[in-house]
Amino acid sequence: MNSAEAGSSVVERIAKINTILSGLAALVGASAWFQPSVAGSDLWWHLAAGREIVATGSVPTVDHFSFTFSGRPWMHHEWLWGTGYWLVYRISPEAVALVNLALLFAVFGVAWAVALRHCGSRLGAGLALWAAAATSTRSPCSSSASSCSRGSSPSHAGCGRR
């Protein structure tokens, strides 16, 4: 191998490492805006409903969890998510945070790949991903427990969860 071949192989390796690092930096940076806190999230609701689904083998149709609407009809439209959360939580409560992070990485990974395909620049795709993450809005119930009173939030209007 001559020095020209060795030099191009080093450059190719560095380019590959830069591609991996730029994608990772974009994913980690964008995901940092969205790792939800446990307080004020619907995690506990999902876990309780998922536990009931696993125990009974059916999706609940009556609200057993809230004080004000207990016994009333309830359409649990997030039953699969709650069941998955419960199955992960049952293995390890800490794994729920890791699964959340993995899902965020997957979503932002797809967004980064689309941006990269569109603009052709790893830096441009990473900046677009960070900008989208930084300027997006979160639901009122995901930020703090005090900002949501089930039923008073427009995001829960008509969904049966109050």
Residue 151 lies in a domain: no
Residue 106 lies in a domain: yes
Amino acid at 132: A
| Amino acid 7: pLDDT | 59
Q: Any bridge partners for residue 52, and if so which? A: none
Residue 104 lies in a domain: yes
Helix (H, G, I), strand (E, B) or coil at 73: strand
Confidence class of residue 49 from pLDDT cuts 50, 70 and 90? very high
Query: Domain check: are 74 and 113 in the same one?
Result: no
Range of the domain at 114: 94-135
Confidence class of residue 4 from pLDDT cuts 50, 70 and 90? low
Would residue 151 be called left, alpha or beta, if left means φ above 0 and alpha means ψ between -120 and 50 degrees? left
- Give the chain's domain count: 2
Query: Domain check: are 112 and 83 in the same one?
Result: no
Confidence class of residue 91 from pLDDT cuts 50, 70 and 90? very high
pLDDT over threshold 70, residue 160: no
Q: Which position has the token pair 């939580």?
A: 89
Residue 127 lies in a domain: yes
On whether the CB atoms of residues 154 and 54 are closer than 8 A, the answer is no
| Amino acid 148: pLDDT | 42
Closest CA to 30 of 140, 139, 132: 132
Residue 7 lies in a domain: no
132's enclosing H/E stretch is: helix 122-135
Confidence class of residue 28 from pLDDT cuts 50, 70 and 90? confident
Residue 81 lies in a domain: yes
Residue 46 lies in a domain: yes
> Tokens in use for 151?
């039923």
| Amino acid 38: pLDDT | 60
Claim: this prediction has a pTM higher than 0.75: no
Closest CA to 35 of 85, 98, 83: 98
Residue 13 sits at φ, ψ, to 5 deg, of -65, -45
pLDDT over threshold 90, residue 87: yes
On whether the CB atoms of residues 43 and 49 are closer than 8 A, the answer is no
pLDDT over threshold 50, residue 152: no
Helix (H, G, I), strand (E, B) or coil at 121: coil
Question: pLDDT digits over 110-141, tens only?
Answer: 888 898 899 888 888 888 888 877 777 654 44
Can you tell me the distance from the alpha carbon of 77 to that of 82, in angstroms, rounded to the nearest whole number?
A: 10
Residue 153 lies in a domain: no
- What mean pLDDT, rounded, does the chain reach? 76
Long-range Cβ pairs for the range 54-61 (8 Å, 24+):
54/83, 54/86, 54/87, 54/90
